[in-house]
Amino acid sequence: MKRGGDNKRGERVAASKGVKFSTSPLLAVRLPTWRSRVVLFVLFAAFAALAGRALWLQAVSKQNQFLQKQGASRYERTLELPATRGKIMDRNGQVLASSIPVKAVWAIPEDVLAEPPEKLRQLAKLLDMSEAELRKKLDSDRTFVYLKRQVEMDVIEQINKLKIDGLDTRKEYKRFYPQGEVMTHMVGFTNVEDVGQESMELAQQKTLVGAVGSRKVIKDRLGHIVEDVGLSKDPHDGKDLTLSVDSKLQYIAFTSIKEAVEKFHAKAGAAVVLDVHTGEVLALANWPTYNPNDRSKLTGEQLRNRVITDTFEPGSTLKPFTVALALDTNRVKPTTMFDTTLSGRYVVGDHTIRDTHAHGMIDVSTIIQKSSNIGVSKMALAMPSQEMWEMFTKSGFGQAPRFGFPGAVAGRVRPYKSWRPVEQANMSFGQGISVSLLQLARSYLIFARDGDIIPLSFQKVTDKPVGQQVISPKTAAEVRAMLEMVVLPGGTATQAQVPGYRVGGKTGTAQKVINGRYSQTHYIGSFAGIAPMSNPRFVIAVMVDDPTGAIHTGGGVAAPTFAALAANALRAANVPPDSTVTEIIHAETAQEEN
């Protein structure tokens, strides 16, 4: 207490003598002068070293560009400006696939996890995931994670209202398919990166995708854009694509094959409709199928585009080609008689070829109408195997497809030099050879046209296609007449008749090969036909895989499916009727063996 009093008295004495408080001797620091100068020198040297280092790095050192790049990488970002994928339309301009704007939600995990738990629960709910799943995504050492891609814009608006730090969005597009499962095997779909995965989306990826743009910006640590640097590159949208398909015919084909599979309790089915004049694919349908807008439960069975990726033995649908070759080489005429035996059996080597019913002596036209294996086998064995092989290959069988469609298979036709007589006989009625349904349909263009075959197109055709002559116009007309007999009373496909129209075609019933052997209980029923016969407009091919009901033949399952499809397709296309027969009475359909 005494010292405190002394201090106060000293201050009063100093003040009384005119000494200022700041210069009071009591405040003086008694330090050596050299120490303050050393400190000043050290500070000066440090700043000089920093200035020298900066000068070295920025003006002298060869690492200048590297360091600038490293610095820029911490604040400068190049944003991708997505291009809009081109639309896909049918031949009449109806949209089959389009892109709608959506956003990807991304986060800086450290910042988002610092938010209140209630906000995280709301965010998880909006992203349609559990809170545990959201926290698992955020439990990352990375500074950037996607929480969900392709989020609808209305959901984005609700997420923005949460005002969560470290959460941002990125513009992107989502593909939408208005016709869903009806058109999916024709159109396909894209993945989350907007890259085509199936069908025309995949086949025309380069045309549809366009070119992305870019924009340079400066972002803060929370990912917010604070400055636009410029140096942008504008995106270029993809080109629109017009397909050959007709939406009305596609729906007809789709519903026809779906009903057939359900009616005959089949494993699967497929149908294709071709334009005779242009080779355009007007419809391509499969069942089972899937919804491209919701692929969460997609299976391999649904994904398979059976029209072009699955092969099967065509059976009796191949008989017209053997007959056409014999006619075209003047070996037979439509009236030439063949003995198909009264027993319905014909031995070739150590194998027996059978007809379902014994026909005895019949002419070439009746061989097609009754679907005689024996008659067509005798015709085939009278010709060189090389000629048959050339006929099959010119018709497109066993050839690498040029459809411009992903997944298209070539089928199989073995080299003719290895054919044994029984194999040549079997191939004449469609055994030991495999084709796709699309190949089969295309081959029938030969008979629907004047003996030439044209390329197929999945895009709308503007120029007249150039065909390759396979048989003469006269032979094509003769085979057409035989195909029309097949659907008339006495033929194997009376259920293929269409009221008001003349149609024709050929049935096929092929035994499925299971474990290397022909099954006696599993079949593929098929029908390839032409409509109308007076002026062919469509080639329609139908396949029903493994019908399990009492009926399994092509004439029983595929022919009526063809009839329903053709009837509706002809009316939808406003094709004028060419027959006065409007009421069809179906006689009992003969069942062909192959």
Q: From its phi and psi, is residue 18 left (phi > 0), alpha (psi between -120 and 50) or beta?
A: left
Catalytic residue from among 99, 199, 256, 316: 316
Instruction: Decide if 465 contacts 534 (C-beta within 8 A).
Output: no
The region that residue 504 occupies, defined by phi over 0 for left and psi between -120 and 50 for alpha, beta otherwise, is beta
425: CB partners within 8 A, 6+ apart: 348, 353, 377, 380, 381
Which residue in 491, 454, 443 sits closest to 588, CA to CA?
491
d(CA 82, CA 544) in angstroms, rounded, equals 43
DSSP 501: B
d(CA 363, CA 157): 76
Q: Beta partners for 543? A: 270, 526
Cα 564 to Cα 183: distance, rounded to the nearest angstrom = 19
Q: Quick one: CA torsion of 62, 66, 69, 70, rounded to 10 degrees?
A: -130
Q: What angle do CA 171, 173, 179 make, to 5 degrees?
A: 160
CA 277 from chain centre, in angstroms, equals 26
Per-residue CA distances from 278 to 43, 284, 391, 463 (Å): 89, 16, 22, 8
Residues 295 and 306: their CA atoms lie apart, in Å, by 19
Q: Where are the extended beta strands (E) located within 130-186?
A: 145-151, 167-176
Is residue 106 within 8 A of residue 168, CB to CB? The reply is yes
Q: How far apart are the C-alpha atoms of 367 and 369, rounded to whole Å?
A: 6
| Among the listed residues 277, 309, 50, the one whose alpha carbon sits nearest the alpha carbon of residue 199 | 309
Asked if residue 283 lies in contact with residue 252, where contact means CB atoms within 8 angstroms, the answer is: yes
The residue with tokens 């796709």 is 436
| Strand ranges for 167-321 from DSSP E | 167-176, 213-219, 225-233, 241-242, 268-275, 281-287, 311-312
Residues 6+ apart with CB under 8 A from 171: 81, 82, 101, 103
Whether residue 95 contacts residue 146, with contact meaning beta carbons closer than 8 Å, is answered with no
Give the C-alpha separation, 456 to 272, whole Å.
12
Concerning whether 472 is annotated as a catalytic residue, the answer is no
What is the residue whose two structure tokens read 């709308």? 460
Class of residue 252 by CB neighbours under 10 A (exposed 0-12, middle 13-18, buried 19+): buried
* Residues carrying an active site annotation: 316
